């Protein structure tokens, strides 16, 4: 039995892992330095979205209906262009292309913009005059499977109206 345990440990050590959990500042810096030209408008949004997946490139969420969301941006592998295995490493070019496709859908864009609004995030200070938006409720996707109705209910339990963006609230 001891030999079996040792073999399992050695195999686990010998298996290379390409996943990485980023600090939000490190992720923002990587996105800005390597992908800024292509995705200039979505760097801060992408960093915030990644916060809902713990900034973890190996994040995997299995929906009860069988859908699976992969990687640091929680992307569903729906077509051959969005290869799920590319979502679970620290090379983000394909991830960002697929994220851009997701954000081109108005309902999804609103949901992510709303979840990254000032009332649902905090300022994570990174550099002298720079910060990123860090989700206040980072487990919301794991608890709601990213379903908008469930997100609305979740936020309601926190006293937040999903349908009224932060800047439009009456005193």
Tokens of 10: 């050695």
Band of residue 36 on the pLDDT scale cut at 50, 70, 90: low
Band of residue 16 on the pLDDT scale cut at 50, 70, 90: very low
Residue range 80-100, pLDDT digits in tens: 456 555 666 667 777 888 888
Mean pLDDT of 31-40: 70
pTM for this one? 0.80
pLDDT at 97: 80
Domains and CATH numbers, the chain: 18-137 (1.10.530.10)
Q: Kindly report the average pLDDT of the chain as a whole number.
A: 80
Cβ distance 81 to 43 under 8 Å?
Answer: no
152-156 CB contacts, 8 Å cutoff, 24+ apart: 155/120
Cβ distance 116 to 141 under 8 Å?
Answer: no
Question: How far is residue 25's CA from residue 85's CA, in Å, rounded to a whole number?
Answer: 25
Comparing 38-42, 72-76, 110-114, 117-121, which segment has the lowest mean pLDDT? 38-42
Residue range 119-166, pLDDT digits in tens: 999 999 987 667 889 999 999 999 999 999 999 999 999 999 998 865
């Amino acid at each position: 039995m001891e030999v079996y345990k040792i073999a399992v440990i050695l195999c686990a050590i010998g298996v290379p892992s390409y996943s990485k959990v980023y600090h939000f500042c490190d992720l923002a810096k990587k996105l800005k330095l390597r992908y800024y030209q292509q995705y200039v408008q979505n760097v801060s949004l992408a960093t915030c979205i990644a916060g809902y997946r713990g900034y973890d490139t190996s994040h995997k969420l299995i929906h009860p209906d069988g859908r699976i969301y992969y990687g640091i941006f929680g992307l569903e592998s729906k077509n051959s262009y969005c290869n799920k295995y590319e979502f679970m490493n620290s090379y983000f070019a394909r991830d960002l292309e697929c994220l851009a496709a997701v954000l081109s859908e108005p309902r999804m864009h609103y949901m992510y913009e709303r979840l990254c609004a000032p009332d649902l995030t905090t300022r994570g200070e990174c550099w002298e005059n720079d910060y990123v938006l860090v989700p206040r409720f980072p487990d919301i996707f794991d608890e709601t499977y990213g379903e908008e109705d469930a997100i609305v209910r979740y936020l309601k339990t926190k006293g937040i109206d999903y349908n009224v963006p932060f800047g439009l609230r009456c005193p």
